[in-house]
Amino acid sequence: MFLRSLLRKNPAFVEAVVALHQAGSIPANSYVIDLDAVAANTSHLMYEAKKLGLTVYAMTKQLGRAPDVLDAITGAGVDGYVAVDMACARPISANGHNLGHIGHLVQVAAGEAREAVAMHPDYWTVFTPNKAAEASAAASRIGRVQDLLVRVFAPGDEFYPGHEGGIPLEDLPAMIAHIAGLSGARFAGLTTFPALLFDPATGRARTTPNMATLARAAESAGQYLGPNNQGQLQINAPGTTSSAVLAQLAEAGATQVEPGHGLTGTTPLHAVDDLPEQPAVCYVSEVAHIHQGMPFCFGGGLYIDPVFGDYQTTAVVARDPGEAATKPIPVDMPDPAAIDYYAKLNPESDRTVSEGDTVVFGFRIQAFVTRAFVAGVAGVRSGAPSVAGISDVLGNPVNRGSR
C-alpha cells in the first residue's frame, strides 16, 4: 500500500537499502528506518504542534524501540515517548529518553508497578480504581506523587476489539475522589483511544464519538478537582496522528497527541494524500530459494497492520541499486494464521529473479509483534548512507559478527 509512495517520494532510500543489503550490512527480515526522514518528519510535526500548544509523545512500538531511532526522534525535539507496554518503556528509559506516558493502551501489571514508577513517567493511565491504587502505592514507596490519566467511556464510543476498558463517564466523579484519597497519586487528566479514525468513504480522518465523551468528562472533572490538582487538565487523544490532523485534535480539546506512523509517513492518510511527512520505512527481505520456478523470500516480519483490510501486496526485487525503480511484482503473503517463514514472489515470465536478490516491501509495519530486526540508516539525504545500528524488536542491539 505504501510502496508506491516510497518509490515516488523517497527513491534514494530504496536504492540505499538495496546497496546496504547486498553489501551484507542489512540482514534479511529487517524493518529499515530512514533516520534522516524520521528526524525531518518529527521536526515538522513538532513545529506544527507547538503552534497549537500540544504536547507530543512519540509512539515507538511500530519501530521496535530501536535506540538509534529514538535518538533521531529526540534530537528532532519531541517532548517524550508513549510506551504501549513495559517492553516499550524499558528501552525508552534505559537509553535516557523521557517516558511521557505509560499504561495506555496496555495497563501496567501489578508486579511491574514499582519498576514503572522508577522510570518517572510524566503520566500514567489507569482504567480502574484498583490500578490507580497500585500506581499510588508504588509511587509512595519512592516519595513520588504520580500524575494519573483516567480513560473514560460512554455508550456509542468506539474501541478496537480487545481494547475495551476504562471508567464509565457517570463514575468519573467517584474515580476522581478515589484518586484524591491516594497519597502517591494525583488526577491529571483524561484519555481515550481511538480519538480519530480513518474514513475510507471520505479519505479523511474523522473524530470518533470518544472525543465528545472526553469533552463531557472534562466538563465533569472541572467540578470535582481538588486543591492538589494544579495546572491544565490534560486531554490525551491518540490515533491516526500526523501534522495533517493536529488542528482537528486541538479544536476537539486535545492537549497531548501521540504520533507513531505519522513519523514514518505511513498513516492511512499518507496512503491516499500527499502529506508533508516523507515515507521513511520499508521491510527488507531476500530471495531465499526457488522451488519449481517459484521464488520464495524470507519472512519473520511479514505482519501487515490490517488498517486497510486485504489488498494485493507487491515488492521491489533488485540486486543492483539501479534496479530499485523496476516495476514491483505481486507477492502471495502467508495466511495470518500461519508462521511467516516465507512469502511467494510472482514475477512476470520474462523477469529473472535469483537467490540472494534484495526484496523491498512498503507496507504499514508493527515491528513489536514480529521477530524481525530493526535497522536505522543515516545519511540518505547526503548521499552517503550507512547503517547506524541494528536492534531486535525489544530495542536490544544485535551483534551480527563479521561478514
Residue of 82, 78, 9 whose CA lies nearest to 43:
78
Stated as kind and residue range, the H or E segment containing 236 is strand 234-236
Question: How buried is residue 364: exposed, middle or buried, by Cβ count under 10 Å (0-12/13-18/19+)?
Answer: buried
Residue type, 173: P
Please list the rounded mean pLDDT of every run of 10 residues in the chain (403 residues): 92 98 98 98 98 97 95 98 97 97 97 98 98 98 98 97 97 97 97 96 95 96 70 92 97 97 95 94 98 97 86 95 92 94 93 96 95 98 97 93 54
Sign of CA dihedral 307, 5, 281, 265: negative
Helical ranges in 76-128 per DSSP H: 86-94, 113-118
Q: What is the dihedral of CA 76, 79, 84, 88, to 10 degrees?
A: 60
CB 119 within 8 A of CB 98: no
pLDDT, residue 155, reads: 97
pLDDT, residue 308, reads: 79
- The label of the residue with cell 524470507 reads 298
Residue type, 190: L
Give per-residue pLDDT as tens, 318-332: 999 999 988 999 999
Residue of 266, 358, 273, 362 whose CA lies nearest to 319:
358
Give per-residue pLDDT as tens, 33-75: 999 999 999 999 999 999 999 999 999 999 999 999 999 999 9
Beta-strand runs (E) in 130-213: 146-153, 167-168, 185-191, 196-199, 204-207
CB 30 within 8 A of CB 372: yes
Give per-residue pLDDT as tens, 235-278: 999 999 999 999 999 999 999 999 999 999 999 999 889 999 99
Q: Could you give the 3-state DSSP secondary structure of residue 145?
A: coil
CB 364 within 8 A of CB 2: yes
Residues with Cβ within 8 Å of residue 70, at least 6 apart in sequence = 60, 81, 91, 92, 95, 97, 395
Q: Cβ of 199: how many Cβ atoms within 10 Å?
A: 12
Rounded to whole angstroms, how far apart are CA atoms 20 and 85?
32
Cell of 178: 478515589
CB 118 within 8 A of CB 142: yes
Residues with Cβ within 8 Å of residue 267, at least 6 apart in sequence = 198, 240, 241, 242, 261
pLDDT, residue 317, reads: 97
pTM value?
0.95
Cell of 337: 494464521
Rounded to whole angstroms, how far apart are CA atoms 165 and 173?
17
Residue type, 256: Q
Sign of CA dihedral 67, 72, 77, 79: negative
